[in-house]
Amino acid sequence: MGAHDVGRRLLAVLAVLILAAGCASSASLTPTPTSTPAPTPSASPTPSASQPAALRCAETPNASASATVQWNLPVVGSPTIQAGQAVAFIADAGTPTVTEWTTNGVAAADPCIDKELLATPETVVVTFYQPGDYLIGCRKVAAMNTVVHVQ
């Protein structure tokens, strides 16, 4: 094993430790906003130069939304968008959450979005970076859910 291989393995171990530390510190129900969303491990097609390879979705307050979902009961909207486009979740009442769900109707263990809307009316804009179907629900009201289809 050459010095080059040892250096690569050391970098890989450091990357895993940094990701693990980041995951451990972001386990709250209401994540602390940051200027750059933390990447979530996942398989990835070739990302744009400005997005980390593992980023599935993230809150992007300054993005222009390509679609909207009325985030009240009844939920109105199940958009189909292209990878890299954003969806605005618009709540007019209550204080719901916008949370990535699993197929069995519970919050994902490591959701790419988990935002509590603290005042209404309020809008959260989420950009979806990778193709797939994203189940989005509210932690407080199980009937509030939709699917965002990303091509």
Q: Report yes or no: 117 and 95 within 8 Å, Cβ to Cβ.
A: yes
CATH of the domain at 111: 2.60.40.420
What are the pLDDT digits (tens) for 75-101?
Answer: 999 999 999 999 999 999 999 999 999
Nearest to 61 by CA among 82, 89, 40, 80: 89
Total domains, the chain: 1
Q: Report phi then psi at 55, rounded to 5.
A: -70, 120
Residue 20: inside a domain, yes or no? yes
Residue 47 included in any domain: no
Task: Please check whether residue 45 lies inside any domain of the structure.
Answer: no
- Residue 131: exposed, middle, or buried by beta-carbon count in 10 A (0-12, 13-18, 19+)? middle
Provide the percentage of residues in the chain whose pLDDT is more than 90.
Answer: 58
% pLDDT > 70, the chain: 65
Task: For residue 100, tell me if it sits in a domain.
Answer: yes
| pLDDT at residue number 117 | 93
Task: Please check the confidence at residue 67 and state whether its pLDDT lies above 90.
Answer: yes
**Structure tokens that stand for 20 in this block:** 């693990």
Q: Of 45, 34, 62, nearest to 127 (Cα)?
A: 62
For 81, the domain range is: 3-40+54-150
pLDDT digits (tens, 9 = 90+) for 30-58: 333 434 444 433 333 334 445 555 799 99
Give me the chain's average pLDDT, please. Answer: 76
pLDDT at 33: 40
CA gap 119, 102 in Å, rounded:
26
Q: Is residue 103 in a domain?
A: yes
On the question of pLDDT at 11 being above 70, the answer is no
pTM more than 0.75: no
| Assigned domain for 95 exists | yes
Q: Is residue 31 part of a domain?
A: yes
The pLDDT confidence band at residue 119, using thresholds 50, 70 and 90, is: confident
| Adjacent-strand bridge partners of 116 | 97
Among candidate residues 20, 62, 49, the one with its CA nearest the CA of residue 129: 49
Q: Is residue 129 part of a domain?
A: yes
143: Cα separation from own chain's centroid: 20
Listed in sequence order, the residues at least 6 apart from 7 whose beta carbon sits closer than 8 Å to its beta carbon are none
